[in-house]
Structure 1
Amino acid sequence: MKLITKELEQINTTFEYGRSLGIVRAVAKNDEYDGRNLILDGKETVFLGNCSYMGLDQNQEIKDAAKNAIDKFGMYFSSSRTFVGLELFEQMEEKLEEMFEKPVNVTTSTTFAHISNLPILIGKNDAIILDNYVHSSMQTAVNMMRNNGEHVEILRHSRLDLLEDRIKILSAKYNNIWYMIDGIYSMMGDGAPMKELEFLMNKYEQFFVYADDAHGTSWTGKKGVGYVLNEIPFHEKLFIGMSMSKGFGTGGGLMVYPDKASKELVKNLGKTMIFSGPPHPAAAAAAIKSAEIHMRPEFADLQLDLKRKIEYFWKKANQLSLPLSGNYATPIFFIGAGNTENTAYTAKALLDSGFFVSPCTFPSVPKNKTGIRITLSRYITLKDIDNLLEMVNHIYLQLEKMGKMDREQVKRRFTEKSTKELILS
């Protein structure tokens, strides 16, 4: 094996330690899966890392549609859509366009969506600015472009004061400036400041926004169109990549465009659109049914059910003075633990108590902001939330007695504006 850097060796050691505790790369040995319960190490465990926020992955109508498509078309249609595709794929895009009221392309993953989109949409003399918390899928696509000489820089998280300064400077040298963001950031659960970004798009002719709204899809916005489009109307200089593998409940990635010309250009020339296979027939049929469900009036009631649980979690966590990363009304909650040792201890103690959460350390989060990430889905009950948070509080009281944690210090780390903070990109 080739030599690795000291930093990568340290990260790998931490990962292997977490694996030995059963808190990362865990294997669920369920005979059946219901969205809430995992069988880990022979014990039933409440799954608080599920990103199927709306619970649609277990919806019977969607499962029936997928099964029917397999019976009709088989497991896979093995041809690039550049040459030929099933009419089912066109029907899927038409239904999604009805839902989003904008042109849409579909691919097998959000990462593939970015890899197709960015080299086509972004010109050779354009500049790219990455928010330093932007999802790894976006960084992957941008890094592929960086190899061709595009100007790429990283900006401190959601610092729009710094962003505007960079727009002014870069506008003199580059044709356009693209700011790459998440709609909902996948680790801390905060949302991008879309209204302020809309102001900047209107103010600066050369400024464009490209958003990955994977974690904002379905649980918010009319018809589940997501966080970004719930915050602002669609803008002519806004491009969005989304995921159907989270709240949407079916799998795959989709891209939403301000105009049909952009859609067709990417569909004709995007690398993964040409050289990668199409969605599975089951996934395409499931997406059609999921979009239909999103457009029903009663879908808003499902969203409200989840939002009530989000509010309940937030109030309970604050009552217990747990160090949340912020007060964000999203299904992603991050509770700081202070350091990697505390994070591992907390995740393991929760697992032993019947709760699976996601332990997050560098490079997923900055080194000074390690902690546990909890995602709420409609499968989770209010009693689950009570039991979980009371257990976290109990664990933190133990750490405080041992002199290993100061909650107020941990909280301050999420409010201070660091000049050094970067995640691995």
Structure 2
Amino acid sequence: MSEAKTYGPRLYRNTEKMMAYSLPNWTAAEDAGLIALHATSSPDGSLVERSSGRQFINMSSYSYLGLNRHPAVIQGAIDALREEQIIELGIAPTRIQSSLMYDVQERFSTLFDAQCFVAISCSVATAALLPLVTSGALIDGKPRVTVFDKRAHFCMDLMKPVCADEAPVLISPHNDMNYLEDLCKKHPRVAYIADGAYSTGGMADMDALLELQDRYGLFLWLDDSHAMSVMGTKGEGFVRSRVGELNPLTLITGSLVKGFGCTGGIVMTGRQDIGRIVNTMAGPMCWSQTMSTANLGSIRACIGIHEGPELAVLQGKLRENLAYFDQRVPTAQAGSQMPVRMLVVGDPALSVGLSNTLLDEGFYVAPVYFPTTARGKEGLRVMIRADVGRPDLERLCDLLDKDVVPHV
């Protein structure tokens, strides 16, 4: 067989091209000591780099409410281990699930007024369920033309080749509602796969999407990871807070690592009758490892925070920090409830250099470049948190104003 014939069709994935564009960026960041760091958490929330002893504040942490170090959440993991006296059951969850997992899913379902499932990660939930959407198994049994937003998160993007074995897969320009409507007019069954809240700031056009759903029966799969706990009176996120009764044509996924502060993934759906399918056909969720006891215990404790008044207090602190940051540092995301702020400098080497300067001053602000951002949109991604004190935030803004803003 000739060398040329060993290449695949590369209809939905081209690793060689992706590496050619992105690996130099990652290499530059690693050479500057900005990725592959090893650090220890301090009681005050700062991190200490293992090799150098350098102490810094992580301003690229997506634990937006600081729940990943909340005493009650940590104690919840400890309590669960003491109660259950086992790390995990050691059997695929399709056969036996812990009562703790059942309780967590039931409490999530009540809290978010939806049928909720949990998985060891949002990526696992996506790999498990997205092919079942394309095939129609989770909807009406009929395959659907599946349209991926061009900037859909990698955990969704990764599933394009698998979904393409079930039904046609298309890629839409980012947030292009006209393109999507044209497809809905052309095809009787369409599923749209996208982020609800974007990792680089901004949100999906929910009004337009719900109108297309109402008019054409469009199925919506929306990953709302960056809005979980941050938005909604119960921390249900951006998408769930914009949808009244969750209908069978909407599925929301989210990471529990970000605003929620634990680990794992969550799925919200309006279907009350798909438990059997999820427990038998959603391979990565049901045929592989289950969530650990400590993990479930921390989630249970964090649900308790979401059920009480403390969530609103933490959300309020986050909004105060966002307002202060927006007053000090101009960004395109100013005024948004989303806690992501992008400082675009348009050059990967410059973004790495500026990030390194900030780290020397005690702040880790990650440089972002392709594939996280489009080429030419490189910069720094600041993630504001509720548990960052005002003096630290003031000093960060001073540094950004002096060292970064002149390049934006």
Q: Give yes or no for TM over 0.5.
A: yes
Aligned length: 386
Match of 2:153 in 1: 135
Match of 1:359 in 2: 367
RMSD across aligned positions (CA) = 2.1
- Residue-by-residue CA offset, 1:116-139 (whole Å, 9 max, x unaligned): 111223226311111111111111
User: Secondary structure of 1:224's match?
Assistant: coil
> Which of residues 387, 400, 404 is equivalent to 1:379?
387
Match of 1:55 in 2: 66
Q: Is the 8 A contact 1:338 1:369 kept in 2?
A: yes
Q: Distance in 2 between matches of 1:67 and 1:73?
A: 10
For residue 7 of structure 1, report the CA deviation from its aligned partner. 5.8
Normalised by the length of structure 1, the TM-score is 0.85
For residue 326 of structure 1, report the CA deviation from its aligned partner. 6.2
For residue 282 of structure 1, report the CA deviation from its aligned partner. 0.9
Match of 2:234 in 1: 223
User: Secondary structure of 2:225's match?
Assistant: coil
Q: Distance in 1 between matches of 2:394 and 2:88?
A: 44
Q: Distance in 2 between matches of 1:34 and 1:329?
A: 28
Match of 1:232 in 2: 243
Match of 1:332 in 2: 340
For residue 383 of structure 1, report the CA deviation from its aligned partner. 2.6
Matched residue type, 1:157 = H
**Corresponding position: 1:369 with 2:383:** no
Q: Is the 8 A contact 2:329 2:400 kept in 1?
A: no
Q: Is the 8 A contact 2:255 2:264 kept in 1?
A: yes
- Residue-by-residue CA offset, 1:159-193 (whole Å, 9 max, x unaligned): 2122212222233xxxx21111112111x211111
User: Secondary structure of 1:260's match?
Assistant: coil
User: Secondary structure of 1:341's match?
Assistant: helix
**Corresponding position: 1:302 with 2:314:** yes
For residue 35 of structure 1, report the CA deviation from its aligned partner. 7.1
User: Secondary structure of 2:38's match?
Assistant: coil
* Structure 1 portions without partners, runs of 5+: 408-425
Q: Distance in 1 between matches of 2:155 and 2:18?
A: 22
**Corresponding position: 1:179 with 2:192:** yes
Match of 2:102 in 1: 90
Counterparts of 1:16-415 in structure 2 under 5 Å? Answer: 16-28=27-39, 30=40, 32-34=41-43, 36-40=45-49, 41-71=52-82, 72-123=84-135, 125-146=143-164, 148=165, 150-171=167-188, 176-186=189-199, 188-205=200-217, 207-236=218-247, 237-318=249-330, 323-324=331-332, 328-396=336-404, 405=407, 407=408
Q: Distance in 2 between matches of 1:121 and 1:131?
A: 16
Q: Distance in 1 between matches of 2:18 and 2:108?
A: 43
Matched residue type, 1:362 = F
Q: Is the 8 A contact 1:306 1:378 kept in 2?
A: yes
Matched residue type, 1:230 = S
Match of 2:3 in 1: none
Q: Is the 8 A contact 1:108 1:251 kept in 2?
A: yes
Gap change, CA 1:212 and 1:34, over 3 Å in 2: farther
Q: Is the 8 A contact 2:21 2:370 kept in 1?
A: no
Q: Distance in 2 between matches of 1:229 and 1:220?
A: 9
Match of 2:12 in 1: none
Q: Distance in 1 between matches of 2:311 and 2:18?
A: 47
Gap change, CA 1:6 and 1:255, over 3 Å in 2: closer
Matched residue type, 1:139 = D
Q: Tell me whether 122-131 or 81-90 shows the greater mean CA deviation.
A: 122-131
Gap change, CA 1:218 and 1:367, over 3 Å in 2: same
Q: Distance in 2 between matches of 1:33 and 1:20?
A: 25
Matched residue type, 2:156 = M
Gap change, CA 1:6 and 1:245, over 3 Å in 2: closer
User: Secondary structure of 1:223's match?
Assistant: coil
- Residue-by-residue CA offset, 1:226-249 (whole Å, 9 max, x unaligned): 111122324411101111111111
For residue 6 of structure 1, report the CA deviation from its aligned partner. 6.5
Q: Distance in 1 between matches of 2:237 and 2:377?
A: 27
Match of 2:11 in 1: none
User: Secondary structure of 1:261's match?
Assistant: coil
Gap change, CA 1:10 and 1:260, over 3 Å in 2: closer
Percent identity for Structure 1 against Structure 2: 23
For residue 335 of structure 1, report the CA deviation from its aligned partner. 0.8
Q: Distance in 2 between matches of 1:281 and 1:249?
A: 16
- Residue-by-residue CA offset, 1:298-341 (whole Å, 9 max, x unaligned): 321211111121122122112xxxx5466532111111012112
Matched residue type, 2:94 = T
